[in-house]
Amino acid sequence: MLTWREEVRGPLETRLACALASLYVATGLSFSALAVFMIRQQHLSPAVYGLGASVAAVLGLVAGPAIGALADRRDGFVIYAVLLGVMAIVTAGLVFAPPLAGLGLFAVLVMCARGSAAVLGSLIGTAVDRDRRLRFRAMTRAMSNTAMILGLGIGAIVLAVGSRTAFTVSFSIEAVLLATTGALVLRARRHARPGAAAPGDSAPEEEAGEPQSARDPRVVWLMVLNCVFSLAEPMLTIALPLWVSTHMQVPLWIVSVALATNTIGVVVLQVPVARSVTTVRRAAHAARAGAVLFAVAAALFPLAALASHRAGVVPALTVVVALTIALVCGDVLYSVGSTGLLYELVPQGAYGRAQGIFGMGFDVAYLAAPALFGWIAAGGGGWGWALLAVLFAIAAVPVHRISGSVSGRAALGVKAVNGERGKVPEDA
């Protein structure tokens, strides 16, 4: 039985983990309430809100790497606390801002969120012991999913009430949670190892190599592949509702069942998978297996529609559950594997910038997903899903070459962690 005590050790890790839990309760609240507030309370048209959200997403693409690079040279703990403080102030001000100004504040929120994600990835990479950071990130990801469910539940109550007062209370709670997150990370700073707060100051030899790391073809490959594999998440949140409503004759509540299965799967599987990934080779195997499962899930979408029309509701629901399981297992495997590879490929003094660029894949995927999955639902059909499955399968191939090029360097790192002077097996 995995416990908090096994995976979160010491005051620094405890504060970081609590900060993430607070952050994701706030995120759940924001996901529930923000769009509805802007449209129903601020009376923005869906088209105007959508345009503003798209502009904010593009700005977030730029902000992530830029703020991450700043964290490589300055105190990341302080930068993160400042970003969360800005987010708290902006969130509290949403209820007082005119509609168009509110869209501007929304863009600030997105930029700070993308930048803070890059900074936090850098902090975990430098402050948490190398042999434990994957497990720590896995535990906090599982916790974050649980925390987001709590935030979504509170948000559902806000939406059920629907008054401006309810939204005001919601944004006030969210602002307090964001401020708390920043304060917890700032307090964690006093427990960090010397140099962890500002790696650029403590590791000049790594900082000197930082510009080259961003041009390293292995890093570029990993970041490009992440743009492809990040399409897997909107497959569940965007593609599945579209596909069920347009191509299947099943109850729409199956979408909620799929989302619940995904959340539970991440919470249950994330830490056990991370504990099994102890070498670069295993990280690559995990990432590649995740990509193959994404391809399987894409291939099951047209099969679900076929089962709906020819075999009935129960077989169709079975296929939907199967593709959901493939997606959640693929997500967990790819998340753990790609994170392990990224930390090995990039020098410590470049973690922030690399995390920001790597995170761009998620933003690019969510910008492309509505058009892509809308086309598949409207006309692409089974051929569209087949092409996407082939894309996932082809994109899995280069992962092996990336892992092969860093396996020697990773073995030295494992020996340093374990204090071993003998040969480290390449595969375990």
Q: Among 161-175, 286-300, 305-319, name the one with the lowest average pLDDT.
A: 305-319
Q: Tokens at residue 320, please?
A: 């939907």
Instruction: Give the whole-angstrom CA distance, residue 15 versus residue 293.
Output: 34
Confidence of residue 201 (pLDDT cuts 50, 70, 90): very low
H or E element: which one contains 263?
helix 253-276
Amino acid 422: pLDDT: 34
Q: Dump strand ranges (E) for 382-427.
A: none
CA 317 to chain CA centroid, Å, is 27
Residue of 350, 115, 342, 68 whose CA lies nearest to 219: 342
pLDDT at 4 over 80: no
Which pLDDT tens digit goes with each residue over 36-74?
Answer: 888 888 888 877 887 888 888 888 888 888 888 887 788
- What are the start and end residues of each CATH 1.20.1250.20 domain in the chain? 1-202, 205-420
The topology under which CATH files domain 1-202 is Growth Hormone; Chain: A; (1.20.1250)
Rounded to an integer, the average pLDDT of 222-226 is 83
pLDDT at 223 over 90: no
Q: CB of 95 within 8 A of CB of 168?
A: yes
Amino acid 199: pLDDT: 53
Pick the CATH number of 205-420 from 1.10.10.60, 1.20.1250.20, 1.10.3720.10, 2.30.30.30: 1.20.1250.20
Q: Among 201-215, 302-316, 333-347, name the one with the lowest average pLDDT.
A: 201-215
pLDDT at 308 over 90: no
pTM to 2 decimals? 0.75
Amino acid 202: pLDDT: 43
pLDDT at 415 over 90: no
Q: What one-character DSSP code corresponds to residue 311?
A: T
Burial of 310 (0-12, 13-18, 19+ CB in 10 A): exposed
pLDDT over 90 for what percent of the chain? Answer: 21
Burial of 263 (0-12, 13-18, 19+ CB in 10 A): middle
